[in-house]
Structure 1
Amino acid sequence: MTTLLRLDSSLRINDSYSRSMGDYFAEQWKVKYHDGMIIRRDLTLQPIPHLTQETLNGFFDDSLHSGHIGLSDLLIDELYSCDEILITSPMYNYGIASSLKAYFDLIVRTKKTFAYGTNGIKGLLTGKKAYLITALGILQPASQEKNAIEIQVTSILNQLGILDISYFPMDGMVDPEQAAIKIQQQRKQINQHLNQSDYATDKTDYRKIY
């Protein structure tokens, strides 16, 4: 059975472009994997505590314990149990949400998700696929291959050994007309990526959603 771990980080619970596209991706993913399981972790509704010195010390010394170490172990177990990862993220101040950063701070751990070897860092979460849905208010320059979120998250996932990453960016979302175009484009891309022959026509008027 294929398992998808979904991570949402938008501060908006309603009317969120990244969450809405994440919902659409999950629906189409279930069409492809009828018996698949989706584990959902909402980093806004289930906030992750920020990294502290006590927790960081515990990462390197097994004799030190804290409640955050236990949470870190749980989050890492979720990662190992899944085959694919879906991350939805809007851009805040040219970067990822602090909730998503807090999540990464607890799961990027030496000897747990990566190790140091003779050739440098070796990721331990190999053989997994990742999908990254991003929403940006501004337009991305045509000369820029990846947006700021994609660059940041890709670096982290690569360190963990996750190299197979698919991107579904939505930029210029502050403009309602542009947003409507981007939403339909990425719905089509998701279906093509998941090998669906067609995709549902959405009747929502996205020009009314900001």
Structure 2
Amino acid sequence: MTNAANILRVDASARHGGSSSRALTDALIARLNPAAVVSRDLSKTMPFVTENWVHANFTDEAERTEEQKAELALSDSLVAELVAADIVVIGSPIYNFGVPAALKAWIDMIARVRKTFHYTEDGPKGLLTGKKAYVLMASGGTEIGSEIDFASGYLRHVLGFVGIDDVTIIAADRQMMRGEDAVSQALEQIAAA
């Protein structure tokens, strides 16, 4: 595992006690031996994009009013956390075949033109290259990689969109059918990574 890296930990589960994705994230971070960990718990009120946010975001940075700067302050902080990280570790359950709304809200806050991606004549290009991401996923019934999994492919795509192409997904999926075997298998993947 990588030594002395700066890690951004993003937890998306609404559950704290008994959360498989949080437990897997704990196990992985312990293996990574980080220099520093910045933790972002999305269960603690992640706002959604609003009309004022969109208007502020598309206003040239030099021309933003104080109100617009305040509107983007949290988003700017989230982007700064992501930029500063060497490794991004996202722990997420699958809710109703996709990512939790709080994780989607975080993605909306960090996918910022001129900050995490820009447009070229060939289309959008991510600006956060050279980073590694681990996505620790848990599900009750959805099999990761199946036709009803709208979460893992989406997360891989979004991370690639902002320039993070080195993505490892470790899953404790279908826990309602597989029980503790699902978590044990994911922990084995963490140990072998």
Query: TM-score by structure 2 length?
Result: 0.90
Work out the CA distance in 2 between the residues paired with 1:139 and 1:157: 21
Moved more, 128-137 or 55-64: 55-64
Give the superposition deviation at 1:146.
9.2
Equivalent in 143, 158, 161 of residue 159 of structure 1:
161
Task: Give 1:51-66 correspondences, 5 Å limit.
Answer: 51-61=49-59, 62=61, 63-64=64-65, 65-66=68-69
> What SS does the aligned partner of 2:113 have?
coil
Q: What letter corresponds to residue 165 of structure 2 in structure 1?
A: L
The residue aligned with 1:112 is 115
Aligned to 2:182: 182
Unpaired runs of 5+ in structure 1?
Answer: 194-210
Shift of 1:123: 0.2
> Number of residues paired by the alignment?
185
Q: How much does 1:119 deviate?
A: 1.0
Per-residue deviation, 1:134: 0.7
Kept in 2, the 8 Å contact 1:55–1:66? The answer is: no
- Distance of 1:159 and 1:140 partners within structure 2: 24
Q: Distance in 2 between matches of 1:68 and 1:97?
A: 23
User: CA separation of 1:179/1:67 partners in 2, compared to 1, >3 Å: closer, same or farther?
Assistant: farther
Partner of 2:14: 11
Structural RMSD (CA): 1.7
Instruction: Give the letter aligned to residue 171 of structure 1.
Output: D
- Between the aligned residues of both structures, percent identity stands at 32
Cα distance between partner residues in 1 of 2:142 and 2:52: 41
Deviates more, 1:51-60 or 1:146-155: 146-155
- Residue 23 of structure 2 is aligned to residue 37 of structure 1: no
Matched position secondary structure for 1:6: strand
Alignment of 1:189-204 (within 5 A): 189-193=189-193
Please identify runs of 4+ aligned residues in structure 1 that moved more than 3 A: 143-147
CA distance in structure 1 between the aligned counterparts of 2:166 and 2:6, rounded to whole angstroms = 16
**Match of 2:132?**
129
1:108 to 1:139, Cα distance in 2 relative to 1, 3 A: closer
Asked whether the equivalents of residues 56 and 71 of structure 2 are also in contact (C-alpha less than 8 Å), the reply is no
By how many angstroms is 1:170 displaced?
Answer: 1.4
1:67 equivalent in alignment to 2:70: yes
Q: Specify the SS of the correspondent of 1:167.
A: strand
Q: Is the aligned partner of 1:48 residue 2:46? A: yes
Give how far 1:152 is off: 1.1
The C-alpha deviation readout for 1:123-147, integer Å capped at 9, x for no partner, is 0000000000111111528x83893
